[in-house]
Amino acid sequence: MFEFLLCSMITILPDYLYRRRVQKKEWGRELTLFSIWYELRWGLSACALLTICILTVVFYYHPSTSNVASAFRTVTILPESGGRVAEVAVQNNQRVEAGQLLFRLDDSLQRAAAETAQRQVEEIDASITVAQSELASADGLVTEAEGALEQARSELRRAEDLVSRNSSVVSQSEVDRLRNQLASREGSLNAAIANKAAVEAKITTLLPAQKASAEAALDQANIALAKTRVYAGVSGTLEQFALQPGDYVSAIMRPAGLLVPDFAGRGRFVAGFEQISTQVLKPGMVAEISCASKPFTVIPMVITQIQDVIATGQVRPTDQLLDSRVRQAPGTITVYMEPLFEGTTDDIPPGSQCLGNAYTSHHAQLASGDADFLTSLVYHTIDTVGVVHAAGLRLRSLFMPFQILVFSGH
């Protein structure tokens, strides 16, 4: 409408004035409802062409969209393992801090497992104490076997000395008996030493390994016990949290509710522009939005990021070959915008639907002085017609409450 009115001022109006003032044609005679097209054909044709050209320039270099939203992500409240709720520590719509207890599952099985693991650790500690006593006993047996072996050696040396002097006090059979006794005492000493080594190995290797396994089992049982308590991962507000003691929750099918983080969707908007605007949209472009949750207000924004892929073109592996004819409708270019001035979007709830415009600016090219006259004229024209789109956004923002409240039919 604005474009047509502006174009008619320099096309239809001069044509009409020429017919009226110069050719002296009057309404009701030459200028009638039936002859108006023929009489003003040059002005009407020029106005239509000029309007189409201006609309093309406006919508291409200053793209607009009605698909702007402050998208946010929620955190699903789920336990790592399923179980029946034993205690609920918070309520729905309550704000919670990160690390705050939300609810606790029935932990009788996990407590029993932890208690069993603790008793195993204590049992191995007792076995270590008993092994220390066994080591002392084995050390005494080694000392005793060494003394008996030394005594057997002394008796054998004395008997062999008497035999070497041809004494009849000791017979050859007595010498043989003493030699066998010495061998037996040496075997007893070796057995005592081996027993002591076995006890030492038990103390230094076996029991520590068993204790480490028991402590690992205890840690595992304590971790399983800790998983029965569900805490808030981030600070936020609980939504759809209607959990009661006795309810069963599962990590697969039965979530407990949703947690909306405090920072979710604050100060960051996602917009979808038509694909034809791909070459125009650039990071750093100035934009404007107007949201239904904050009527009669136009908020200046700046484009901070542009997604380099179009979502509708993604391919997921399936059991069917892809046919391009069954693709979804052409997608949009995803653009991320942030407020140009801090705090201007703080009172806009996350998820709000908004209208948006982006504006092309050639100020840098014009200020550099490198552009010739014709190029500068084109740049000035492109930047100037952006005012038309800005006025259109403000007009839509003005009528948005009436359209939603009165003419929507809801």
Q: What is the DSSP letter of 316?
A: -
| All residues at 6 or more sequence positions from 104 whose CB lies less than 8 Å from its CB, including other chains | 85, 86, 87, 89, 228, 229, 230
Is 321 part of a structural domain of the chain?
Answer: no
pLDDT for 22 equals 81
pLDDT for 146 equals 80
CATH code, 94: 2.40.50.100
Find, among 280, 274, 234, the residue nearest to 258 by Cα: 234
Residue keyed to tokens 């979804």: 328
Is 13 part of a structural domain of the chain?
Answer: no
307 and 383 belong to one structural domain: yes
pLDDT for 286 equals 93
pLDDT for 192 equals 81
pLDDT for 254 equals 77
127 and 274 belong to one structural domain: no
* Domains: count for the chain: 3
CATH code, 177: 1.10.287
pTM of the model: 0.68
pLDDT for 334 equals 93
Q: What is the DSSP letter of 312?
A: G
CATH code, 347: 2.40.30.170
Is 29 part of a structural domain of the chain?
Answer: no
Query: What's the half-sphere exposure (Cβ side, CA atoms, 13 Å) at 163?
Result: 14
User: Distance (Å, rounded) from C-alpha 157 to C-alpha 162?
Assistant: 9
Q: 5: burial class by Cβ within 10 Å (0-12, 13-18, 19+)?
A: exposed
239 membership: H or E segment, kind and range: strand 236-239
Is 129 part of a structural domain of the chain?
Answer: yes
293 and 404 belong to one structural domain: yes
67 and 91 belong to one structural domain: no
130 and 278 belong to one structural domain: no
Residue keyed to tokens 């066998």: 180
287 and 306 belong to one structural domain: yes
Low pLDDT (below 70) residues in the chain: 1-3, 160, 162-163, 166-172, 175, 326-328, 409-410
Number of H helices, E strands in the chain: 9, 14
Residue 320 — left, alpha, or beta (φ > 0 → left; ψ -120 to 50 → alpha)? Answer: beta
185 and 209 belong to one structural domain: yes
pLDDT for 1 equals 66
334 membership: H or E segment, kind and range: strand 333-339
Q: Which two tokens stand for residue 259?
A: 């947690």
Query: What's the half-sphere exposure (Cβ side, CA atoms, 13 Å) at 177?
Result: 7
Q: CA 142 → CA 148, 191, 199, 285, 351, distances in Å?
A: 10, 8, 13, 91, 83
Is 26 part of a structural domain of the chain?
Answer: no
Domain stop point among 199, 225, 251: 225
The whole domain housing 366 covers 54-72+265-315+327-410
156 and 282 belong to one structural domain: no
270 and 361 belong to one structural domain: yes
Is 146 part of a structural domain of the chain?
Answer: yes
pLDDT for 2 equals 64
Find, among 90, 86, 141, the residue nearest to 110 by Cα: 86
What is the DSSP annotation of 111-174?
HHHHHHHHHHHHHHHHHHHHHHHHHHHHHHHHHHHHHHHHHHHHHHHHHHHHHHTT-SSS-HHH
Q: What is the DSSP letter of 203?
A: I
Q: CA 305 → CA 103, 211, 285, 288, 346, distances in Å?
A: 39, 56, 10, 15, 20
